[in-house]
């Protein structure tokens, strides 16, 4: 390449960079945020293998002595804890129920919204469905209490007056109802927000495909089955992989707000245990070990789900 061409190429690159400067700033801001709040804090994971004392400060993370069993003392303590099986069971069951019901419900909702003919009605439905996502779990817990409380619950009062039940259903007090309560409240709160990405994926499908299918006599259900679902297959696969990775973690806010002493046998999950151990009991190394154990299992699940998706559908994260 001649020198004049090199100069011209550098000038073009410089001009292009100046035009894209705002976009570069956004990218670098995101990278900076990731480094400061995700990558650098990962150095603190080392306390999971040590007997860390918070009085030692930041340097104590690196100067604290290693624990027994080659640094795996806290991991062994957690695995042999009497609560271990209960915590894992509750976390996995609640996350699995959400994956089984909430995940496909968002897809179904997105397809239903897309099939609505009235644009005004569609916008109203979309806006109404997004709002619960921005409502704090504290407020959601208050709504659930107002609806299902045995004393003032609207639903219980209505069912009693209709004669469908003889006594109020203790939905918030008995442990056997908690899995249902957690799954239903998750669907109500997150369905609209989760459907956004599916709506965007459906909007990217070529309208000519629907028109051609309609000309050929395909009904609405057949168009959904043969055009819409295959068109969003890649998006569904990616989100499914990410959802599988969260099977070993639960909704901390939900568990804290809806859980109580009466249903603790089913509402206590790993995230709540980590919070109570680390902040309430100040066992920072032990809590870090439990959190690291949870993260490693989630990473393994993501890798396995990604490999399975790549083999079955050809879509994958990496």
Q: Are residues 247 and 146 in the same domain?
A: yes
Number of domains in the chain: 2
- 287 and 158 in one domain? yes
d(CA 284, CA 44): 10
Instruction: Establish if 135 belongs to a structural domain.
Output: yes
- 118 shares a domain with 38: no
Tokens of 64: 């604290």
**% residues pLDDT > 90 (the chain):** 59
Instruction: Based on the fold, state whether residues 27 and 175 are members of the same structural domain.
Output: no
Mean pLDDT of the chain: 90
Residues 176, 303, single domain; the answer is yes
Say yes or no: 90 and 56 in one domain: no
Residue ranges making up the domain that contains 11? 1-66
pTM, entire model: 0.87
Poorest-confidence range of 10-19, 59-68, 252-261, 265-274? 10-19
And the tokens for 285? 């190394």
Residue 229 belongs to some domain of the structure: yes
Q: Which of 66, 94, 111 is the last residue of a domain?
A: 66
Cα–Cα distance for residue pair 32/188, rounded to 1 Å:
35
Q: What is the largest CA-CA distance in the chain?
A: 91
Position 59 in a domain:
yes
């Amino acid at each position: 390449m001649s020198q004049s061409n090199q100069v011209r190429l550098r000038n073009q690159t410089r001009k292009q960079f100046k035009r894209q400067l705002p976009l570069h700033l956004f990218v670098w801001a995101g990278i900076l945020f990731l480094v400061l709040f995700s990558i650098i804090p990962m150095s603190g994971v080392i306390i999971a293998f040590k007997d860390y004392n918070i009085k030692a400060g930041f340097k104590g993370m690196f100067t604290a002595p290693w624990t027994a069993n080659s640094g795996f003392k806290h991991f062994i303590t957690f695995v042999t804890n009497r609560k271990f099986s209960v915590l894992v069971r509750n976390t996995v069951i609640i996350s699995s129920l959400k994956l089984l019901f909430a995940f496909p419900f968002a897809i179904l909702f997105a397809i239903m919204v897309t099939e609505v003919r009235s644009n005004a009605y569609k916008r109203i439905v979309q806006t109404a469905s997004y709002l619960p996502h921005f409502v704090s779990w504290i407020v959601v817990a208050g709504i659930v209490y107002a609806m299902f409380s045995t004393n003032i619950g609207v639903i219980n009062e209505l069912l009693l007056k209709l004669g469908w039940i003889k006594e109020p259903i203790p939905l918030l007090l008995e442990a056997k109802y908690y899995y249902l309560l957690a799954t239903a409240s998750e669907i109500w709160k997150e369905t609209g927000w989760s459907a956004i990405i599916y709506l965007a994926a459906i909007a990217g499908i070529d309208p000519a495909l629907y028109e051609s299918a309609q000309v050929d006599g395909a009904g609405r259900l057949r168009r959904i089955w043969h055009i819409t679902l295959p068109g969003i297959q890649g998006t569904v696969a990616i989100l499914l992989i990410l959802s599988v990775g969260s099977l070993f973690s639960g909704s901390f806010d939900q568990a804290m707000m809806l859980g109580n002493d009466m249903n603790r046998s089913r509402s206590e999950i790993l995230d709540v245990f980590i919070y109570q151990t680390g902040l309430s009991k100040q066992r920072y190394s032990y809590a870090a070990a439990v959190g690291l154990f949870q993260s490693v299992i989630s990473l393994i699940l993501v890798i396995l789900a990604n490999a399975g998706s790549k083999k079955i559908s050809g879509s994958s994260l990496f």
